[in-house]
A = this chain, B = another copy of it.
Amino acid sequence: MSNRKLSNSPAIRRMPAYLHKLLMMRNENKINVSTTELAEYMNIELSVVRKDIMLIGVAGQRRVGYDICELIRSIKNYLGWQDTISAVLIGAGALGAALLGYDDFSHYGFHLSSVFDSDPAKIGTVIRGRKVCDIKDFRKLVSENMPDIAVICVSGSAAQDVADLVVSAGVRYIWNFANVSLRVPAGVIVQREVIAGGLAMLAVKMKQDRQFIRTANHSETSNHTSHTRR
């Protein structure tokens, strides 16, 4: 096992996208897939796809490709998604509702069993088939069936309190959508989701692209499409 911090492995982050495509293809009753097909879908180089497939340890057939079902099985296995992962959602706002409606989670073996909020106006209502429970009852309600993961979708100001609560109740893994860093005891693992990271990437691409257009207007030697598509 690697000693380096496993904080942002691009290969692992690509896996759900592969999985999504493969599930779609299986739905269309396709049997095999080639790296070319996956690379085009992902908009990445052929060799990256091959390396990723080597990583999950699947062998293909030359001139035919890989078995879709085997790839699905192996990716799930690689990510530890072969068995159901139970999770609770804290925060029944718009983002929470969006996660509850994310269809692929069920394919990933990720099950958001219950929803908590502190807002009296929300408690008792039903969102996407789940009744919203009072966060005050959190300990009691999860005590018998401890979820693997707590998904925190509350405002930044409330997030630390929620984290303290779920950790004290016994949750050891947190998926944090609140835009703050959480302090947790050693042994608790937090995955922070910074949505704006994608915006930053797009902004920098935009900036470079526009600089290129400006430059290209002054020199005739290059053109625009060769830049964006290499």
A contact residues vs B (CB 8 Å cutoff) = 1, 5-10, 12-17, 20-21, 41-44, 78-81, 85, 93-95, 97-102, 104-105, 108, 110, 148-149, 172-173, 175, 179-181, 186-209, 212, 224-225, 228-230
Whether B93 and A98, one on each chain, are in contact in the complex, defined by CB atoms closer than 8 angstroms, is yes
Known: A12-B200, A12-B204. Is A228-B6 also a contact (CB below 8 A)?
no
Whether B44 and A149, one on each chain, are in contact in the complex, defined by CB atoms closer than 8 angstroms, is no
Given contacts A1-B208, A148-B206, A188-B228, 20 further A-B contacts (CB under 8 A): A6-B201, A8-B10, A12-B200, A13-B194, A13-B197, A15-B197, A16-B194, A16-B200, A17-B181, A17-B192, A17-B197, A79-B200, A80-B207, A81-B203, A94-B98, A102-B195, A108-B199, A175-B198, A189-B228, A191-B205
Would you give the shortest CB distance from A42 to chain B, in whole angstroms?
7
**In the complex, what distance in Å separates the CA atom of A208 from the CA atom of B79?**
10
**In the complex, what distance in Å separates the CA atom of A8 from the CA atom of B81?**
24
Whether B41 and A79, one on each chain, are in contact in the complex, defined by CB atoms closer than 8 angstroms, is no
Whether B208 and A6, one on each chain, are in contact in the complex, defined by CB atoms closer than 8 angstroms, is yes
Would you give the shortest CB distance from A54 to chain B, in whole angstroms?
17
Whether B175 and A189, one on each chain, are in contact in the complex, defined by CB atoms closer than 8 angstroms, is no
Whether A201 and B9, one on each chain, are in contact in the complex, defined by CB atoms closer than 8 angstroms, is yes
Whether B202 and A191, one on each chain, are in contact in the complex, defined by CB atoms closer than 8 angstroms, is yes
Report which of B148, B179, B202 forms a contact with A173, defined as CB distance below 8 A.
B202
Can you sample 28 A-B contacts with CB below 8 Å? Answer: A1-B212, A5-B230, A7-B201, A8-B13, A9-B204, A12-B200, A13-B200, A15-B200, A17-B192, A21-B181, A79-B203, A80-B203, A80-B204, A85-B203, A85-B206, A94-B94, A98-B98, A102-B196, A108-B196, A108-B199, A110-B199, A149-B206, A172-B209, A175-B198, A175-B199, A189-B202, A189-B206, A191-B201
